[in-house]
Amino acid sequence: MTTTIVLISQDRADDLRHSLPAALAQPDAEVIVVDNASSDATGNLARDHGAEHLRLDTRASWAAANNAGIEAAQGDSVLLLNADCFLEPSFLAAARPRLDEPSIGMVTPKLIRTTGGQPTDRLDAIDCVGMVVDRRRKNNLAGHGRPSLAYDSPGPSFGPDGAAALYSRAMLDDVAVDGKPFDEAFEKWAVDVDLAWRAQILGWTATYEPRALAYHVRSYSPSTRAGMPERDRRVQFRNRYLMMVKNDTLQDVRGDLARIAGYELAAFGYAVLRERHLLAGYGELRQLLPTARRHRREIQARRRTRGVARAPFGLEPQP
């Protein structure tokens, strides 16, 4: 099995100096540096290291840039990697065999927090061990902030975080809508969760492999949310509804209505009292609904033919 590493850089040459050599050192892997209209040395670094350089002349969203990289990938599996994520040498050797197991289309690695690409920058804290979606349909980082030695046993996972996510090419092709694995309406926030949710209800599963280890500089997390631009927070806010429109059914939510309703009241009250800019997310959602409903019809039609009950809400690795 060969793997294409799709390494995204958007003016992240300083990080790429460390993440690119680590990616190129992985066995049986090709590396495509997706240069998202960078104005720094990203392109020169890619060429100097002998990696394939895919230049996007117009800056695209994280979702669109990854879709471009996936389209160019030739491997049997695809590792999506952010420029600020640094792989251990044994990362792919540990992660890739898990894709040979029945129904597994996603491998969730163990990401440790770091402030940069040097070993001295690493922190004794987990960045995440994948994504989790609870029964309120609220997504979060599994394991975020726990000690780095926690979560040392393999197990099932809802899906990997997009900073470092290994997918089988067969799964990406199977769950694509309009020919694209990632929904570009999401732009960035929760696009990885949406893909994992869609994959789960179409019969694919994810596994957590702690021996697949990498170090990530986390720019957006529960602990840093307050410092993020308002638009980023608003997009994240409305993307939860997009996921529900596309991937949920009335049968899915029947047993969770009280939880969902309670969260909606709390979220609306919080927006009114603390972050009124979030209310504009409802208007953005309304504009995106026609396409989301069309995607929903396609996804749910496929799901019915496969007989999948519903997504495994609350599923995350055990500490």
Q: How far apart are CA 109 and CA 163, in angstroms?
A: 10
Check whether residue 190 and residue 265 sit in a common domain.
no
Residues 30 and 178 in one domain: yes
DSSP H or E run through 99? none
Whether 311 is covered by a domain: the verdict is no
Q: Does 277 reside within a domain?
A: yes
The reply to whether 250 and 208 lie within a common domain is no
Whether 159 is in a domain gets the answer yes
**Overall residue count recorded for the chain in this entry:** 319
Say if residue 12 is in the same domain as residue 160: yes
Backbone angles phi, psi at 66, to 5 degrees: -70, -40
Same domain as 206, residue 260: no
How far is 39 from 20, CA to CA, in rounded Å?
18
Residue at 147 is within a domain = yes
The total domain count for the chain is 2
Ordered per-residue pLDDT tens for the chain, 319 residues: 799 999 999 999 999 999 999 999 999 999 999 999 999 999 999 999 999 999 999 999 999 999 999 999 999 999 999 999 999 999 999 999 999 999 999 999 999 999 999 999 999 999 999 999 999 999 999 999 999 999 999 999 999 999 999 999 999 999 999 999 999 999 988 999 999 999 999 999 999 999 999 999 987 656 666 677 888 889 989 999 999 999 999 999 999 999 999 999 999 898 899 889 999 999 999 999 999 999 999 999 999 999 988 899 999 999 9
Nearest to 66 by CA among 161, 152, 198, 147: 161
pLDDT on residue 226? 65
Same domain, 248 and 135: no
In a domain, 131, yes or no: yes
Q: Does 232 lie in the same domain as 184? A: no
pLDDT at 223: 61
Question: What per-residue confidence (pLDDT) applies to 228?
Answer: 78
Predicted pLDDT at 24? 98
Q: Is residue 221 part of a domain?
A: no
Distance CA 306, CA 236 (A): 30
- Same structural domain for residues 243 and 180? no
Which helix (H) or strand (E) element contains residue 90?
A: none
- Residue 312 located in a structural domain: no
pLDDT of residue 112: 98
Residues spanned by the domain of 93: 3-216
- Which pLDDT does position 13 carry in this prediction? 96
Are both 126 and 234 inside the same structural domain? no
